[in-house]
Each structure stands twice: as C-alpha cells, then as structure tokens.
Amino acid sequence: MKNLSKISVVLGIGICLFAFGCEQNQKAEAQNLKTPNSANKRNISTAKADVKLDKIKLPANFKIDVWAADIPNAREMTVSEDGIVFVGSRQKGDVYAVIDEDGDGKADTKFTLAEDLQMPNGVAYKDGDLYVAEVSRIIRFKDIKNNLNNPSYEVLYDGYPTETHHGWKFIAFGPDGKLYVPVGAPCNICESEDEIFASITRLDVSSPNPTPEIVAHGVRNSVGFDWDPKTGDMWFTDNGRDMMGDDIPNCELNHISEAGQHFGYPYWHEGTVKDPEFGDKGGPASDYVAPAAKMGAHVAPLGMRFYEGDMFPTEYKSKIIIAKHGSWNRSKKSGYVLTSINVDGSTASGEEDFATGWLDEEAQEAWGRPVDVQELKDGSLLISDDMAGVIYRVTYSGK
C-alpha cells in the first residue's frame, strides 16, 4: 500500500481536476459509440444453402436441417431469451442477428449489426446487452433487441494484446456473472514475457474500469468453453501445437477446478508430451494440470456446450457436445465432426461421434467445417459452419 502522503497528493490532484475529468470521460464515452457502415435487415432463405445434408450422419431418429443460410463465416453463437441468435465471424468482420420470425424452425431474417471489425469471433449475451470480442477489445451493444435497426456499440475494454496470431476470441459469461475471455499464444510455440498470453481471463463488465483477471495459464488457443450445470466448474477445449507430426500432440478437453491452474503450454502437451524446443526448462509434467480427455491430433476442437435440453434422449443430458473444426496441416485430414463426451465430476470419458460427413474421407475434401454449437429453448441444437456460411439445426423425433 502506498504511504499516506502520496495518497493525499493523488487525491488533491483528483479533486482539482474533477470537473475537467468528468467532462473528458463523457466525451470519451461519446466517442466510443460507433455505428456500422450499414445496419441492414435482409430476408434470408434456406433454399439458397449450398450444402450436402445427405452426407451428414447422425444417431437414429436425429435429423439435421439448415436453420439459416447466407451467414458468411459464421462462428460463435449466443442466444437471447426470446430466441434471437447473434453470430460472430472471424475473417468476414461482421456481426449478425438472425431470427426465426414465424416459428417454423428456419430463420428468415438477418440483421448485420456491425461491419469491418477485427476478427469479431466471440459473442455473448447478458441482460439485454450483446458483447462482442475483437482481437484487442470487448465492445458492447446495449439493449440490442430494441435497436436491431439502428445498432451502436461502446468500447468496454481495449487493453487486450493486438497480436492477431490466435487473437480471435470465444467469450461467454460464467456462473459468477463475469465475462470469460481467452488470450491465445501469439505463435505456434513460444514463451511469452507477458503472462496474459496463453491464458483465459475474466472481466467484471459491471465495473466502470474492467481489468482482466487471469483464471488459467498454459492454454495455447481455447476457442470454446462452458460450465458444468451440476458443479459449476469450467471446461474448455484447447488446440494443440503444430509441426510435431501427424499424430502428436493431441488437442485437449480441460477442466478447471480452481483459478490460477497451469495447463502445460508451452512446455508440455496432452499431459505427457514434452515440447522439444524447451527440454527440461518447464519442469516435470506433474507441475501442470493434465487434460481430462485427449481429443485427437490437429482436429481443432472449438465450440462446446453441456447439453441441458429435454428434446434429446436422457443419455445426452449434461454431456458435452464439441465441434471439431478439422485439421489444416495433417497429411490425412481429421476432425470435421461433432462429438459427445460424458462428464462425471472432474473426469471425462466415452467420447463418441455425434455428427459426421462434412469431410469426404476418400477424396480428402471438406465441404463444411463446424465451429460452434448452441442450444435453443426447445432443446434443438444449432451448429455454425464458417466454410459453408450456414447454421444447421439438429432435432430429435424418437420416443
């Protein structure tokens, strides 16, 4: 704690400049309000979707349809209490609001809320406001439902690193009401002097000056997480490093049991694979938290959700459903699927394919890449696809 004289000086300066400071803060807030280049509303039709639904294989009595078409580079999704689906993008730079206005199970309206943002991958909705994550900042659209035709945003926080390598972010609100924001490693494999890299942070969005708090270290590139509805614990996917061969290291599913844990990167991968670039520098593997499950090498697990709905069979209740985006540098492609996995306390087991078919195994060509999963009120499951530019909906009709 600083001494009393220093505090007095600071308080004195603050009192003298109070009026000026308030005026400047008001100006800064006003300057932070931005509107998109064109906040437009468009009708969309699933008939225009260029997809191969007949190739998708699901368990018995499940069905997949296109829920929304013409959603370029669709990435993370979040849903309002009345069913508006907000969608981020990574390469496109746009943020969308997508609505099924007539309740027929297919979206018919799309609003473009913002354009030309920097990798606005992450979206989260809370108390009527939409939060969007760019590379270095978090922006907020207040009362978004009532401002779809004339959206504007303010900058909530702009102090995240500007590096674009793994700079895109998945965001979500935790049970504590705070916004969780990952910060990927600025490289394939490296040590970073700034501890905020390769971490998961959280922000108190109710604070006038939110400051990131690190809750997990050693996380190379997480683009998906959720909280166990039974325990409240956080689980997250993490993408393993490249250039160590086709089969190592595995991507990971991890479990946070307490804040501040370290998950190994850059020294250890999948719990037992020592990184060749660092040797013994990182110490033994036992110093780090091992993954709860190994997801496969280079499969790129991204969005994940605990299924809490009532539409699917009871065995899916509280399972995690994970979107594996698919490999980009493996000699034989892997991923391009959805899987489900059982969770019991701190353990995960029994991973199974849930939806396959975006990859033609024989031709080694993909026509789609699943990114995120999101549950609707009726218990059906949405899947975003950034390659096909669509959102799918999975339903169950069995007894």
pLDDT of res. 222: 99
Cα(first)–Cα(last) distance of the chain, in Å? 64
Are the CB atoms for 108 and 101 separated by under 8 Å? yes
Domain boundaries, the chain: 1-32, 41-396
Closest by CA to 233, choosing from 124, 342, 309, 343, is 343
Task: Please list the residues that pair with 385 across neighbouring strands.
Answer: 370, 390
* Angstrom distances, CA of residue 133 to CA of 63, 93, 105, 117: 32, 11, 28, 9
Q: Is 256 exposed, middle or buried (0-12, 13-18, 19+ CB in 10 A)?
A: buried
Name beta bridge partners: 182.
200
Residue 36: predicted pLDDT: 54
Task: Return d(Cα 197, Cα 383) in angstroms, integer.
Answer: 29
Q: SS3 for 259? A: coil
Chunked mean pLDDT (size 10), the chain, 399 residues:
36 36 36 53 90 98 98 99 98 97 96 97 99 99 96 98 99 99 99 98 98 99 98 98 98 98 99 97 98 99 99 97 98 98 97 99 97 98 99 93
* Number of helices (H), then strands (E), in the chain: 2, 30
Structural contact between residues 330 and 250, judged by C-beta atoms closer than 8 angstroms: no
Contacts of 115 (CB under 8 A, 6+ apart): 36, 37, 38, 93, 94
At residue 357, what are phi and psi to the nearest 5 degrees? Answer: 125, -5
Distance of alpha carbon 192 from alpha carbon 198, whole angstroms: 8
What does the alpha-carbon distance between residue 63 and residue 55 come to, in Å, rounded to a whole number? 12
Q: What is the pTM of this model?
A: 0.91
Q: Which residues contact 2 (CB under 8 A, 6 or more apart)?
A: none
Please name which of 243, 250, 169 lies closest in space to residue 212, comparing C-alpha atoms: 169
CA 201 to CA 324: how far, in whole Å?
23
Write down the CATH number for the domain with range 41-396.
Answer: 2.120.10.30
d(CA 223, CA 325): 10
**Conformation bin of residue 323: beta by default, left when phi > 0, alpha when psi is -120 to 50:** beta
> ∠ CA 73-327-363 to the nearest 5 degrees?
95
